Every structure is written in structure tokens, then in C-alpha cells.
A and B are shown apart, each in its own frame.
Chain A
Amino acid sequence: MVKATTLVTTRRPFRFRWRYVRIPVAVVLMALYFLPIYWMFKTSLQPEREISTSSINLWTTSLTLANYVQVLSDPLFATWFKNSVILATSTMVISVLVSTLAGYSLARLRFWAVKFLGRPFLLAYVVPSVMIVVPVFVTLAGFGWQNTYHALIITYTSFAVPFSTWLLRAYFLTLPTELEDAALVDGCSRLGALFRVILPLAAPGVATAGLFSFVLGWNEFLFAFVFVFTEDMKPLSIALQRILAQTIAASSADLGYYGFGAMFAMCVLVAAPILVVFLFLQGWLVRGLAAGAVKG
């Protein structure tokens, strides 16, 4: 009996089992991948004198909020933050509305011209933003729109619309037409069916498109850099870039606009709103992109 068992165990060849290593390897990779973000948080909570060192300190016992206090007590920071919120929120609302209508039209309504319009929407994604920044600036400055919110909002929206439309079209295609037909039979208009029946069902797609537009409006750099020239109209991305350039040009950390730690605190504060929204919408995000990716 004993002999038989040993025979069986020795005979079994060694097999590499993917499922035993996959979780530990995934966790280690994740830790490495996440390290820069962790490092940013850690540095933002450290006192200035601890940051400039040649030894690794991945954690610290002398946590301090002094860096955050310094950034948040800067009245300009509130202005920059407000500007970013206005730009990103307007971009999100307008582009979701526009893309929902366009995506619905492409997915559901049958008309030869609309079919013809579908492909250029994807081609719009190919346009390099450095390519159009000069003509767009010349055109909008011709309207006297330089240094305004609406010039930026309209450009950001047009950047967000192609991808959002494509995503929403794909999501609408995954929904059964029967529900819509039922609403139409019950006396709903086409648009009523879209807003009362389709949109609630397409929530993950809408959320993904909205988040995408918001992130675009929040992060955009080049156009804001070219369009905005007064301090009170700058969004966070431009303000942070200027401070970063100053800090790096300064010979020592405390000669810059902020110290090194305060810079990282500002980085955290710039990233925070998106991270929060993102954590709430994450489940929807996977489903929203899934439809977009799979249905093409």
C-alpha cells in the first residue's frame, strides 16, 4: 500500500502550474507598478529635510500635513482648482450630451447620410493636437476668445466627442432593440425612448464616456498652455508646470515657488478629484469599455 502511493507520487512528472504562481506574481507586479503613486503620497507627507537623502525611505514615522497646509493656504491654488473644475465639468456635460445623441443616431437610426458619417468620427481621433493648435488658436482669437473658458471648453469637447461617440454607439448596439420598440409602441417618442429607456440601461457606457471627457478636460495641457495667459484663468495643469519648472531651475529646494514636499502635495491634490471619481465608477468603467472594445 505504502509502496503504491510512493510509486504514484514519484511517477507524476513535474508540471508548471500557472494557477499557483499567477496570484503571487500578479501581486508583486502590482506592487512594483503602483510604487510611483505610493512614493508620491509618501513624499507629500514627509517634512522637507527628510526628502533630500540618498537612502531609501519607503515609509516614515514623522508624518506631517505641513506640505498640504502650505498648498491649500495659497489663494492662487483655489483659483486654479476652480478653473480646472469649470473646464472639466463643462467638457464632460456637453460632450456626453452631444455624443449620446450622435452615438444613438449612428447605432439605431437608419439614414444613408448617417452611415456615411460614421467613419470620419473615428478618423477624427487621428488628428494630432499639435497639428490644429495653430489654426484653432487663430480662428478663436479672431472671435476675441483668447484667455476665455469657452474657447477651451469647445476645443476639449471636440477632442472628447469622437471617442465618446464611438464608445456610446458600441454600447447602444449591445442593448436589445425590443425594449426600445416596446417604449415606442407605448407611445414614447424616439428621443423619449432614448432618455427614459436606453440611457439608464447604458449607464456604464455613459459613465465611461463622462469620465473620459472629464479626465481629458482636467489633464489637457497644450491648448491651455497656448490659450491662457493670465494667472486667474490658468487651470491646475499649467500652474503645476510653471511651479515645476521654477522648482527645478532653483538651485536648492526652498528657493522654488514651493518646496519639494509641497510640490508633491500639490500633485496629490491635482490627481485626487479624478482618483475619487474613478474609484466610484471603476466597476462601470470595465463594463463600459468592454462593450466599446468588443463591439468595435
Chain B
Amino acid sequence: MAESSAGAAETRPAFRARHTPSFWYRLTNSEAVLALVCIAPATLLLLFILAYPVIQTLAFAFYSRDLLKAELGTQFVGLANFAWLLDYDRFWLALQNSVLLTVVTVFFELAIAMVVALMLAEPFRGVGIVRGLFILPWAIPTIVTAFVWRGLFSPRYGLINQVISEVGRLVSGPSYQFQFDWLSNSAFAMLGVIIVYIWRGFPFVFLVLLAGLQSLPQELSDAARIDGANGWKEFWYVTLPQLKPVILIAVILRTITVFNWFDLVWLLTGGGPQNATLVLPILVYNRAFVAFQVGRASVITAVMFVILAILTYFFLSQQRDEEHAR
């Protein structure tokens, strides 16, 4: 029965119209509606908690709002906050520190993770354990990371000073004792922070690169080897170009995270000593929650946001070029 009526519908369009699904049926079974319904919770959440506050912050950049002088309320000041920022020495210092911290951290994370991933890409007995222990710090909470490293760097109990003391005792007699407060020294604090950042960020980069390496086809490497490429040439001309998309992703994700990271550096040094590790997120925090100047804090975050948005756009267009090239 059903088959014959379907056949009839095909031959007689006028009759077919009566069998088109109802509006309600089309609504509940349409792919477009389902697509919208599925994506709605995530979109609403992002609009409410991310987009709206971001717009609010960008707007605040043009207002003066001092929580300690509530009677002044919120006043439109145009570009006054930006003018203030240009003259604000600590902003330039923090920007410099942030860029230094981000560039050095991401570069060394990537370089070290590349070497280790190449070592561990091919399986051997016990490779799972070695890989697992390399990934483990990813699961250590930030506060624990900060505390353990403060312990390692600490003048009295720290392992680093213990090692130096032990070496010193071998050289200059048993009474030698090395006491140096690494994170309280303005020359070493930034280096210390960078070391902890690399330690903490390494697992993510390593995982991404390892995954990328394992998904590469073996044929190209084999062909290169047959053509007489040595290990280094094979890596440089065959493996690395194929890994480029994966490396791009790792770089941009790590750059964003490191540039925006407040918790770890705040828990390690709090921006000190003598502003040696003052980075932009800490400056924002101090402006907003210590000085209670919301407008001025917003200007700094607006600048951070614009820097990262440009970088991300650049990354996305790079990735699109890659896709077109393929």
C-alpha cells in the first residue's frame, strides 16, 4: 500500500502536496532546528559568562570607575585611561616581562618537548611508564606546583640549595653551607618562574607533539631514508614540515595560556621582588582588587585581549593557508 502511494506521489505532484510533513513535524525533525538546539546551551553560557563580561570590560576602558570613590560613580572619560596607560611605567615593565616570559617559556617548552617526543615516539619496553611520568605534572594542581617549587627554591629546606651545599662541601670543606633565596632575588626570580612554567606546561606540548608524530605516515620517512637522508635531514625536511599544523596549535594555545596565566606566577612570587616578575595579569589584579580602579584595570585587559586576538587571528589564517595548500 505504502509503496503504491509513494509511486503515485511521484507521478502526480498535486497529490503529493497533501503528504508533505506538517509544520510541527518539520520543526522537530529538521536538522537546522536540532543544530541550533544542540549548540544553544554552550552558546548561551559563553554569551553570559564570556562575551557579555568582555564587552563590559572593553566598555569600562572608556570610563573612570573607582570603587573606593563610589560617590563619583561611573564617569565617561573617553581616552583618558589610554593616555594614563601610555605614561604608566609599570605597564611597560609588565608588558616587557609578559612578552619575555611567554616567548622564552613557549620556545623552550616546544624545543624540549620535541626532543623528548622524538625519543619516545617509537615504542620500547616500558615506554608507557616513561611517557606517563612525563605527562604526570599536567595533573598536579597549580597551587601544589607553586608550593613544591617554592620548597625546592627555598633557602633553608630547598633541594637546589642542598645540592649546591653538598658540592660546596666537597670543594671547600665540611662547614660550607649555601643559603640563597632564589625567588626573592630580582635577578633570578624571573628565571625561576620561567623554569616552573616550562615544567608545568611541558606535558601538554609533549602530548600534542607525540600525538602528531604518531599520526604521521611512515612512507615519507622511509622514502627519505632510501634517498639517503640521515636522521637530522629526515627530521628537518620530512618530519618537521608535516608537523607544522600541530606545532602551530601548540604554540598558539600555550602562548595564550602563558600570557594570561595569573595563578602560578602570583602564587610563586606575587609579582616581586621589586617588580622583577610583574606580568600583565598581576598588574590587572593589583589595579582591580588592590587599588579598586576598575576603569584602569579594564584598559590593561583590553590591550591584552587585543594582542591575543591579533595573534589568534594570525594563527587561524596560517592554518587556513595550510588547509588550502593541501
Which residues of A approach B to under 8 Å, CB–CB?
18-19, 22-23, 25-27, 29-30, 33-37, 39-40, 43, 51-56, 98-99, 101-102, 104-106, 109-111, 113-114, 117, 119-136, 139, 154-155, 157-159, 161-162, 165, 190-191, 215, 218-219, 221-222, 226, 236-237, 240-241, 244, 248, 260, 263-264, 267, 270-271, 274-275, 277-279, 282, 285-287, 289-290, 293-294, 296
Within 8 Å by CB of A126, from B144, B263, B308, lies: B308
Docked Cα-Cα span, A111 to B39, in Å, equals: 11
Q: A105-B38, A131-B284 are in contact. Are A285 and B207 (CB under 8 A)?
A: yes
Does B147 contact A263, Cβ atoms closer than 8 Å?
Answer: yes
Complex interface: chain B residues within 8 A of A56 (CB): 159, 162-163, 166
Does A237 contact B157, Cβ atoms closer than 8 Å?
Answer: no
CB distance from B77 to the nearest CB of A (A): 17
Does A26 contact B260, Cβ atoms closer than 8 Å?
Answer: no
Q: A27-B130, A109-B38, A219-B142 are in contact. Are A278 and B136 (CB under 8 A)?
A: yes
Does A125 contact B256, Cβ atoms closer than 8 Å?
Answer: yes
Does A30 contact B231, Cβ atoms closer than 8 Å?
Answer: no
CB distance from B313 to the nearest CB of A (A): 9
Complex interface: chain A residues within 8 A of B285 (CB): 130, 222
CB distance from B282 to the nearest CB of A (A): 8
Does A219 contact B151, Cβ atoms closer than 8 Å?
Answer: no
Does B42 contact A99, Cβ atoms closer than 8 Å?
Answer: yes
**0/1 string, B31-50, CB within 8 A of A gives 1:** 11011101101110110111
CB distance from A268 to the nearest CB of B (A): 8
Complex interface: chain A residues within 8 A of B319 (CB): 296
B246 at the interface (CB under 8 A from A): yes
Complex interface: chain B residues within 8 A of A248 (CB): 150
Does B36 contact A43, Cβ atoms closer than 8 Å?
Answer: no
Complex interface: chain B residues within 8 A of A113 (CB): 32, 35-36
CB distance from A136 to the nearest CB of B (A): 5
Sample of 24 A–B contacts (CB below 8 Å) = A29-B116, A33-B134, A36-B149, A51-B157, A104-B38, A105-B39, A106-B39, A121-B46, A132-B50, A132-B53, A133-B288, A154-B49, A158-B48, A158-B49, A215-B141, A222-B285, A237-B143, A270-B143, A275-B136, A277-B139, A289-B208, A293-B208, A293-B211, A294-B245
Complex interface: chain B residues within 8 A of A275 (CB): 136, 139-140
Docked Cα-Cα span, A248 to B150, in Å, equals: 10
Q: A26-B119, A36-B148 are in contact. Are A135 and B56 (CB under 8 A)?
A: yes
B101 at the interface (CB under 8 A from A): no
Q: Which residue of A lies closest to B216 (CB)?
A: A294
Complex interface: chain B residues within 8 A of A105 (CB): 34-36, 38-39
Does B41 contact A122, Cβ atoms closer than 8 Å?
Answer: no
Docked Cα-Cα span, A238 to B98, in Å, equals: 25
Docked Cα-Cα span, A246 to B44, in Å, equals: 41
Known interface pairs A134-B53, A244-B146; 7 further A-B residue pairs with C-beta atoms within 8 A, sorted by A's residue number? A26-B130, A30-B134, A54-B177, A99-B42, A236-B141, A293-B246, A294-B212
Does A222 contact B263, Cβ atoms closer than 8 Å?
Answer: yes
Complex interface: chain B residues within 8 A of A158 (CB): 45-46, 48-50
CB distance from B145 to the nearest CB of A (A): 8
Docked Cα-Cα span, A132 to B308, in Å, equals: 15
B199 at the interface (CB under 8 A from A): yes
Q: Which residue of A lies closest to B140 (CB)?
A: A271
Within 8 Å by CB of B212, from A165, A277, A279, A293, lies: A293
Complex interface: chain A residues within 8 A of B186 (CB): none
Complex interface: chain B residues within 8 A of A161 (CB): 42, 45-46
Complex interface: chain B residues within 8 A of A53 (CB): 157, 162
Q: Which stretch (B84-92, B217-225, B297-305) binds chain A?
A: B297-305
Docked Cα-Cα span, A118 to B215, in Å, equals: 25
B124 at the interface (CB under 8 A from A): yes
Docked Cα-Cα span, A277 to B141, in Å, equals: 13
Complex interface: chain B residues within 8 A of A226 (CB): 289
CB distance from B46 to the nearest CB of A (A): 5
CB distance from B58 to the nearest CB of A (A): 9
CB distance from B295 to the nearest CB of A (A): 10
CB distance from B20 to the nearest CB of A (A): 20
Q: Which residue of A lies closest to B285 (CB)?
A: A130
Docked Cα-Cα span, A282 to B129, in Å, equals: 10
Within 8 Å by CB of A123, from B116, B130, B151, B312, lies: B312
Q: Which residue of B lies closest to A39 (CB)?
A: B159
CB distance from B289 to the nearest CB of A (A): 7
6 nearest CB pairs, A to B: A290-B211, A109-B35, A158-B49, A135-B53, A102-B42, A131-B301
Within 8 Å by CB of B260, from A130, A240, A293, lies: A130
B210 at the interface (CB under 8 A from A): yes
Q: Which residue of B lies closest to A42 (CB)?
A: B159
Complex interface: chain B residues within 8 A of A124 (CB): 46, 50-51
Docked Cα-Cα span, A161 to B131, in Å, equals: 27
Docked Cα-Cα span, A129 to B289, in Å, equals: 14
CB distance from A196 to the nearest CB of B (A): 16
Complex interface: chain A residues within 8 A of B35 (CB): 105, 109-111, 113-114
Docked Cα-Cα span, A121 to B43, in Å, equals: 8
